[in-house]
Amino acid sequence: MTAVTEPTASSDPSATGRYDLIVVGSGFFGLTVAERSASQLGKRVLVLDRRHHLGGNAYSEAEPETGIEIHKYGAHLFHTSNQRVWDYVTQFTEFTGYQHRVFALHNGQSYQFPMGLGLISQFFGKYYSPAEARALIEEQSSEFDAKDAQNLEEKAISLIGRPLYEAFIRDYTAKQWQTDPKNLPAGNITRLPVRYNFDNRYFNDTYEGLPVDGYTAWLEKMASNEKIEVRLDTDWFDVKAELVAESPNAPIVYTGPLDAYFDYSEGRLGWRTLDFETEVLETGDFQGTPVMNYNDGDVPYTRIHEFRHFHPERDYPADKTVIMREYSRAAESDDEPYYPINTPDDRAKLEAYRDRAKAETVANNVLFGGRLGTYQYLDMHMAIASALNLYENTLAPHFETGASLAGDK
């Protein structure tokens, strides 16, 4: 765990305030902004987080009984085709050669996932060539026209056909959303890819791997600059008035929930959350793979992670393993938000919050970013790319030339 640093005295006697920049939230977005501002411009940065650790949902820790590194908030798999992001992150960590592969359990049988020739051949009981598989899916998906689909079920069937939909999508989706797919909008699924080959690598990005020493070591290195002070177990809203008075000219980068910043004045945005159930088992290998999806409706969880398989190169115990069952449900007011639900009602509220956020930038130099601060689902590489853009296009010009944080508005 990164030690909370003491504030560093400013080397610029003309500087106003104790900090040049305040970052609320220590996930990848916030830490990228903080690291760039400190290392490239020498700015004094305060990073706040209400949790007891750095890193937001990417935080990992050793399970105490086994020493196996677990991802406390669900599996995090790093992948990107963005060269700029890859060049940036490799300053702080090396990556293993891990390639993510997922299997799906249906009616007591495991299948390669995503859908490809392996799954199709196994599910339908015979080998299909690429051309034969395409013809099969085209025939089975002809039940509905995608453009006329009235709900998620019809849209999914129009993409992959009813047999595959009922086996691998229907019940899994119902568990994820706690709603019959017939009652979900067709727009919730834009595509369901089927690969007409035997490639079962989950991601197709140029770069993929896991941090050699784990996520926490990577995050701590990002925050290690002497110009960065980290305060954990600190709620921004409890210290906001004091910090703004102390550093009145410091821009604020807020990465917490957008609706919470404005005290839910436009209503609460809808989120999905996840519950996790971690267990140490007296076996060296529970499922033989890092992630197994449970696609049937009679199993309450959506998947099981077995963390030892993320790092086969490590010397983990041969007689014990750690698994984590993952459950999905709608987030309540005290829950940790994970995925935006993004209903039409949510989108209407979001537009109102975006207008308020723009006004807040103009009035109080507050910038909003990250998954929670923008109400978008962002993979890690996307959050980092977005943070680099904010730093390069907005913060750096502001610090270097006094450019407005609100741009040309």
Task: Enter the tokens of residue 204.
Answer: 């197709």
- Tokens representing 107 are 């009616």
Catalytic residue among 36, 44, 170, 195: 195
Beta bridge partners of 211: 95
Q: Which of 303, 306, 308, 371 is an active site residue?
A: 303
| Catalytic residue (one of 6, 191, 319, 332) | 191
Whether 84 is catalytic = no
Catalytic residue among 69, 208, 229, 326: 326
Q: Are 258 and 368 in contact (CB under 8 A)?
A: yes
Question: CB of 123 within 8 A of CB of 211?
Answer: no
Q: Is 326 a catalytic residue?
A: yes
How buried is 175 (Cβ within 10 angstroms: 0-12 exposed, 13-18 middle, 19+ buried)? buried
> Residue 303 catalytic?
yes
Exposure of 13 in the CB half-sphere (CA atoms within 13 A): 0
- Out of 36, 272, 308, 371, which one is annotated catalytic? 272
Distance, CA of 83 to CA of 405 (rounded, Å): 27
94, 139, 145, 377: the catalytic one is 377
Write out the DSSP string of 148-160. G--SHHHHHHHHH
3-state helix, strand, coil in the chain (%, to 5): 40, 20, 45
Q: Note if 377 is an active site residue.
A: yes
Q: How many CA atoms lie within 13 A of 155 on its CB side?
A: 18
Q: Can 195 be counted among the known catalytic residues?
A: yes
Contacts 24+ apart (CB under 8 A), 368-371: 368/253, 368/254, 368/255, 368/258, 368/261, 369/29, 369/30, 369/33, 369/253, 369/254, 369/255, 370/25, 370/27, 370/28, 370/29, 370/30, 370/255, 371/27, 371/29, 371/255
Terminal CA-CA length for the chain? 41
Residues assigned a catalytic role:
191, 195, 272, 303, 326, 377, 379
